[in-house]
Amino acid sequence: MFSRVKIKELLANYTIGQEVTVMGWVRTFRNNQFIALNDGSVLTNLQVVVDFENTDPELLKKITTGAAIKAVGEVIASQGKGQAIEVKARLVEVLGVCDPEVYPLQPKKHSLEFLREIAHLRFRTNTFSAVFRVRHHLAMAIHQFFHEKGFVYMHSPIVTGSDAEGAGEMFRVTTLPLDKLPKTESGDIDFKKDFFGKSTNLTVSGQLEAELAALALSEVYTFGPTFRAENSNTSRHLAEFWMIEPEVAFADLKDNMDLAEGLLKYCLNHVMEFCKEDLEFLETRLLEEEKQKPQNERSDMALRDKLRFCLSNPFQRLTYTEAIDILKNSTPNKKGKFQYPIEAWGADLQSEHERYLVEKHFGKPVILTDYPKQIKAFYMRLNEDNNTVRAMDILFPGIGEIVGGSQREERLDVLMARMEEMHIPLEEMQWFLDTRRFGTCPHAGFGLGFERLVLFVTGMTNIRDVIPFPRFPGSAEF
Ligand code: 4AD
Ligand code: MG
């Protein structure tokens, strides 16, 4: 009963006169005759023509927007414009009705905010089906890129007993009864009674575990969900997001930058090749959206031109110190236009500074390296100046930071000194330090925020619209 041809396959490969069975959801039904049918395999709807004079009126009434149907009929050349073929149905069966009186999705434009509230249904719109097909292709491109290079895909744990970034922004995992927490003699919560016999959290990053694997398998990557309980209510932050973290032994910062730039370009190339129709649609969507904005807030390039531009230009590489000089002397800084004025070396860069460098000063993706050690994590390799670390951030137009990484501190004594300085409990991290005790070697890695990549490629403007069910402060719906 369910053998069918997908609309994508049919449109790509058909013979006039062949009989086909198609199934999908009705987008519109015009003149009791023309069904625009979509099965999600492709953006384009298939036109199914109903012989309404010879069809039961009760059945016709059930063909409404949102209904699931099966149609069997002959492939014919289309009379109408806009499509090469259509299916002349000899049989239509309604698999699932959809009451148009209560169905929230009408065949009209809905705002992205409204669709976010009905995220369980938004897959059925052109915009979201396109976004999630592109998201899929990006994920496949990432696996393909690393697989072709001989990396091992490593599954890092989701529940962890360690805090990789040393930041207090984790979600606790516990089965202890919240209304009567067991206490130790000194009055603290007794985590020995908890499920794992210790305090545990959802991971913020798979990096530390990836380092352990890299120091044996030499080239690994993780690609999994990560969780941050930071209270960032922005269009660039999620509390649950997916991160790609490669870790490479016998590699330095230059190798790391080359790998990251190579990965990003591979992904852009891949979607340009495999998501043509969806990207064209998303480009038009973005143009329409930007018409509502004042001229100076619109992008100066169409979506696909922007992707092509990033593909064909080397990313600009410079040090944090050089960037600070540029920012200090920039017009917005001198005119007091930055919300956080750049006064001295050592300042953490805000997104307004990152965007100035990328969008105004260089006009292309930028890789900043060698940040002050004070504003970066403990595991980054200390430079000879004792002041900066071998960090790198990749900044993208409209996005800001898309990648964060570094060469790792492989020297046991330097690493332990840094950890002490930063009050990281050494006792709990012996397993990590063992890599530096037993056959340590130079190595490097980075984290690519998957949703930020999807955001960039699709031209969507809010990160909540590129993950199926976004989690952010105050919201964990569905
Ligand atoms: O810069 P971050 O915090 O780096 C790490 O977690 C390192 N352990 C990575 C590594 O070296 N293996 O995060 C990496 C990237 C950011 O550049 C950003 O793209 C993304 O993860 N990211 C977020 N994406 C969405 N929502 C958030 N709250 C994010 N926080 C970071
Ligand atoms: Mg970062």
Q: What is the pLDDT of residue 352?
A: 92
Asked if residue 137 has its Cβ within 6 Å of ligand 1, the reply is no
* Torsion angle (degrees, nearest 10) of CA 62, 63, 66, 70: 110
Give the global pTM: 0.96
List the Cα angle 63/64/66 in 5-degree steps: 115
The residues with which 369 forms a beta bridge, in sequence order, are: 319, 392
Q: Rounded distance, CA 140 to CA 342, Å?
A: 40
Residue 137: which H helix or E strand, with range?
A: helix 126-148
Tell me the residue type at 35. I
- According to CATH, the superfamily of the domain at 124-169+204-465 is Bira Bifunctional Protein; Domain 2 (3.30.930.10)
Distance 58 CA to ligand 2 centre (A): 59
Task: DSSP for 88-133, please give it.
Answer: EEEEEEEEE---TTT-S--SS---HHHHHHTTTTGGGSHHHHHHHH
Separation of alpha carbons 444 and 218, rounded Å: 11
Q: Which residues contact 363 (CB under 8 A, 6 or more apart)?
A: none
Is ligand 1 within 6 A of the CB of residue 402?
yes
Chain centroid to CA 247: 19
Please tell me if the CB atom of residue 464 comes closer than 6 angstroms to any atom of ligand 1. Answer: no
Residues 370, 393: contact at Cβ < 8 Å?
no
d(CA 310, CA 38): 33
Got the DSSP string for 426-458?
SGGGHHHHHHHHSS---EEEEEEEHHHHHHHHH
Distance 128 CA to ligand 2 centre (A): 28
Question: Residue 40 in 3-state DSSP?
Answer: coil
| Domain spans in the chain, listed from the N-terminal domain onward | 7-107, 124-169+204-465
- In terms of Cβ atoms closer than 10 Å to its own Cβ (0-12, 13-18, 19+), residue 328 is middle
Classified as helix, coil or strand, 289 is helix
Distance 342 CA to ligand 2 centre (A): 19
pLDDT tens string, the chain, 478 residues long: the values are 679 999 999 999 999 999 999 999 999 999 999 999 999 999 999 999 999 999 999 999 999 999 999 999 999 999 888 889 999 999 999 999 999 999 999 888 899 999 999 999 999 999 999 999 999 999 999 999 999 999 999 999 999 987 656 655 899 999 999 999 999 999 999 999 999 999 999 999 999 999 999 999 999 999 999 999 988 889 999 999 999 999 999 999 999 999 999 999 999 999 999 999 999 999 999 999 999 999 888 888 999 999 999 999 999 999 999 999 999 999 999 999 999 999 999 999 998 999 999 999 999 999 999 999 999 999 999 999 999 999 999 999 999 999 999 999 999 999 999 999 999 989 989 999 999 999 999 999 999 999 999 999 999 999 999 999 999 999 999 9
pLDDT at 166: 60
Whole-number pLDDT of residue 167: 54
Per CATH, the homologous superfamily of domain 7-107 is Nucleic acid-binding proteins (2.40.50.140)
Give the distance between the most distant pair of CA atoms in the chain.
Answer: 85
CA distance 350 to 362: 17
Q: Hey, which residues does 183 pair with through a beta bridge?
A: 189
**Closest approach atom of ligand 1 to CA 164:** 8
- pLDDT the model gives residue 447: 98
449 pocket-lining for ligand 1 (C-beta < 6 Å)? yes
Chain position carrying tokens 């790198």: 392
The sign of the CA dihedral 432, 438, 440, 443 is negative
Q: What is the Å distance from ligand 1's center to 478 Cα?
A: 25
**Under 8 Å between Cβ of 444 and 215:** no
Ramachandran bin of 126, using left for φ above 0, alpha for ψ from -120 to 50, beta for the remaining angles: alpha
Is ligand 1 within 6 A of the CB of residue 452? yes
Please say whether the beta carbons of 173 and 158 come within 8 A: no
Give the number of residues written for the chain.
Answer: 478
- pLDDT score at 317: 98
Read off the tokens for 343: 């006064």
User: Which of 354, 394, 152 shows the shortest CA–CA distance to 253?
Assistant: 394
CB 47 within 8 A of CB 88: no
pLDDT of the residue at 1:
66
For the Cβ of 457 lying below 6 angstroms from any atom of ligand 1, the answer is no
Task: Report d(CA 355, CA 9) in Å as an integer.
Answer: 42
- Token representation of residue 104: 């929230």
CA atoms lying within 13 Å on the CB side of residue 462:
16
pLDDT value of position 168: 58
